[in-house]
Amino acid sequence: MLYLKPTKGRVVRNPRDNKALPEHGKAVPAVSYWTRRLRDGDVETTTAQAVKKAEDALAKTAKEE
């Protein structure tokens, strides 16, 4: 499993569901599609903790609205 986020200014779609990879990142399988995106500079690595922290902050913001 890889934790990736799009490089600033990029929109990278997940080939499984065609949804954009969130700006804060997401866990994705370590398959050739994602390793190519990483090699080409379309995405950068992040951590599970950073993804969780961002998702928690988004959930908190959504509850407050």
Angle at 48 between CA 12 and CA 2, to 5 degrees: 50
Q: Compute CA distances 38 → 21, 56, 64, whole Å.
A: 13, 25, 35
pLDDT digits (tens, 9 = 90+) for 5-45: 999 999 999 999 999 999 999 999 999 999 999 999 999 99
In the predicted model, what is the mean pLDDT of residues 42-57? 96
pTM reported for the whole predicted model = 0.86
Where are the domains positioned within the chain?
A: 2-64
pLDDT score of 62? 81
In the predicted model, what is the mean pLDDT of residues 38-55? 97
pLDDT score of 16? 94
